[in-house]
Chain A
Amino acid sequence: MSDTAAGLNPADARNAARDVRRRKLQAFLFVTPLLVFIIFAFVAPIATMLYRSVHNPTVANLVPETLAALDDWSGNAVPDDAVLIQFATDMKRMANDRTSGQLADEINRALPGMSSVVKSTARSLRRVDDAEISANGATLLLEANDRWSDPTTWHALKAAGQVYSSSYYLTSVDLERTADGGIAQRDTQIYVKLYTKTLRMALTITVLTIVLGYPLAFFMAHASDGLANFLMVFVLLPFWTSLLVRTTAWIALLQTNGVVNSSLMALGITDEPIEMLYTQFSTIIAMTHILLPFMVLPLYAVMRGIDSSYMRAAISMGSRPLGAWYKIYLPMSLPGLSAGALLVFIISVGYYITPALVGGTDGQMISNIIAFHMQQSNNWELAAALGSLLLILILLLYWLFDRFVGTDNLKLG
């Protein structure tokens, strides 16, 4: 080798280097259009969401002068009249632009109960003329509602006025910032419980898909080619069928007068229908059904490559079938099992549609509460913070998946 290296003249080396650069560029050019597309269509939206979880300029844009005036406030008593007059002026303007509702929502998140205070104050200041406000704004404000004489209210306004804030992350793990700047647990624990419930449900679904999927994959993997291909249709058809169709089917099966209840009553197992739909139970059953192919397919792919004579040899030499399975077959099928399990777990942690349709109240998962904050309570920053935590969780699981299983094992169909 050293001969060649020594014999290589500088011009050749330059040419070779240029050639490699050209090929690199060529390969990269093929990828560029998609890379640009994905960065715009997918990466930028996710980045926006992450940014949104710490960035909320609403209040800062609504009352910038008041917030600037509050900078010098001592924080122990009611702010001085200049601040109050500035705020009264801002309130009047917002009442007339119909933006006082936005301020009410934002302050209410920092200090519950403030929504009606802000709205009624805005109403009472709406018709007062400007000269009167600049003269008596402070008194008018304090008369409109006595909460304005409480320093806590002004702390809440100041907190809501911060453009960058970690408060949404604190809320999404059930913590809050206290008046003295410390961090304390919230009175109502919602989100940690919800994350725990989501993980528990995802784990239950994963275990169920293993219990149902492992024996099926085992049987199919060691059946004759013809039989295996025939049975594969029954795994792939549900896999290819629309998610909405399968969820619809479970509604038809599990509802009060549905197929399952009618059958149970006809068989005399129960006298009156059992309420199964709109519970955690129906969510878990429907999701197990929907995700089962994701378990069976990787398991089947791995088991197909395991020679069944190993098991026969162990049994013929006196091992019990279960012992042989545990010592010989299980370790060999482990790559498929872990691929399937992580896949099912990752998908079910972020699931939205099925819990939304058949979950009722106790079957809701973390995705459903994110959708709730996006669509109903319009607390987009909290939705973004909850979503970012979920994203971190998923990426962590995916990293584990890549490390222990390898994404190359991911196959379709």
Chain B
Amino acid sequence: MKRFPEYYTIWNIAGHYGLRIFALLVLIFLMLPILVIMPLSFNSEPFFTFTEGMLALDAEAYSLRWYQEVVDDDKWRLAIRNSFVVGIAAALIATVLGTLAAVGLASPWMPYKRFITALLLSPMIVPLIIIAAGMFFFYTRFNLVGTFAGLIIAHAALGVPFVIITVTATLSGFDRSLFVAGLSLGAGPFKVFWDVVIPLIRPGVISGGLFAFVTSFDEVVLVLFLAGPEQRTIPRQMFSGLREQINPTILAVATLLVVLSAALLFTLEALRRRSVRLSGSA
């Protein structure tokens, strides 16, 4: 039994445990949906619910058939390939342009800093449906609707704010005199950028790139408006699956995505710790 201070009344103690129980329940609420879909994806029946056999832990009731279907289905294979192609291309564009811009924005001489920062971060604030409608109107003129180029440009724009935020955060711990020192020793600004700045802010750049990749990988509204059948991505395929014929193939894909996001989460956490260690502050 935990010892409480003497001035604690019975109500204080009840509150102490009440808070713990409530916090636990909220954590269960957060995790339960994700935990439930994992076993359901091994269902041997085409249902979205636990069969009696599954509850009795009967081995017959579990199978890998939905995973097999994902691997065998051309549509899913295309969607998986598209998601990675678009995600990686969009993340590369966003990371390269975003990192350069973050370095410029961090300079104390940057003109119109507030306005430009707000402009560059705005894709994060505007609702996706508005971006999707606007892009549909505008990209049609350049024949970009229904092409990979259009989708990659659109997703890169969405990823930019995340790169700016993460790289700016790393740069705040960056000693500007290093940049000036490089210049004073005769290197051009871009050489200093490449040889001095980039190695020091690398953790921020990589996590910004990962954020941009995840943003694209998870995005479906722009895909709905801008992509043709050839550019279907995983979320797009899940979206139509949920609207048309719900079957556990979607749960199998969902489980794979949870595993992927867990891997990304741990990568980002490792990067964050590395960044904290390098900058020597919390």
Chain A residues close to B by CB (< 8 Å): 20, 23-24, 26-31, 33-35, 37-38, 40-49, 52, 212-213, 215-216, 218-220, 231, 233-238, 240-253, 255, 257-259, 262, 289, 292-293, 312, 315-316, 318, 320-321, 346, 349-353, 357, 367, 370-371, 374-375, 380, 383-384, 387, 390-391, 394-395, 398, 407, 410-413
Contacts and interface: CB of A to CB of B under 8 A. Distances in A.
Interface string B109-147: 111000010111111011111111111111100000000
A395 B122 CA distance: 10
B239 A357 contact: yes
A410 B165 contact: yes
Contact of A246 (B15, B34, B214): B34
B22 interface: yes
A391 B160 contact: no
Nearest to A41: B157
B127 A357 contact: no
The main secondary structure of chain B at its interface with chain A is helix
B34 A49 contact: no
B251 A321 contact: no
Nearest to B208: A412
B188 to A, nearest CB: 10
Contact of B261 (A48, A240, A251, A371): A240
Contacts of B166: 412
A117 B93 CA distance: 52
B205 to A, nearest CB: 14
B265 A248 contact: no
B254 A350 contact: no
9 contacts: A27-B104, A31-B101, A33-B97, A42-B135, A46-B130, A52-B137, A215-B23, A233-B265, A371-B129
Contacts of A413: 268-269, 272
Interface in B151-171: 153-154, 156-157, 160, 162, 165-166, 169
B138 to A, nearest CB: 4
Nearest to B253: A245
B34 A252 contact: no
Contacts of B116: 31, 35
B254 A242 contact: yes
B167 to A, nearest CB: 11
A252 B48 contact: yes
Say which size band chain B's interface belongs to. Answer: 35 or more
Interface in B75-106: 93, 97-98, 100-101, 103-105
Interface in B42-61: 47-50
Name the 7 nearest CB pairs between A and B, nearest first: A350-B127, A30-B104, A249-B33, A45-B134, A27-B107, A49-B134, A45-B138
Nearest to A30: B104
A212 B189 CA distance: 50
Contact of A33 (B36, B37, B101, B110): B101
Given A42-B131, A289-B29, A244 B11 contact: no
B169 to A, nearest CB: 8
Given A26-B189, A30-B103, A241-B257, 6 more contacts: A34-B101, A44-B138, A215-B22, A315-B8, A374-B225, A407-B118
B110 A24 contact: yes
B2 to A, nearest CB: 14
Given A215-B22, A249-B37, A387 B104 contact: no
B33 A253 contact: yes
Contact of A34 (B30, B160, B257): B160
Contacts of A49: 130, 133-134, 137-138
A252 B246 CA distance: 10
Nearest to A290: B33
A115 to B, nearest CB: 24
Contact of B101 (A35, A46, A251, A289): A35
Interface in B13-29: 15, 19-20, 22-23, 26-27, 29
A292 B242 CA distance: 23
A82 to B, nearest CB: 37
B264 interface: yes
Given A238-B30, A251-B242, A352-B221, A43 B119 contact: yes
B36 A252 contact: yes
B107 A46 contact: no
Given A24-B110, A251-B48, A387-B130, A246 B33 contact: yes
A390 B31 CA distance: 32
B230 interface: no
Given A42-B131, A248-B251, A252-B49, A215 B34 contact: no
A234 B134 contact: no
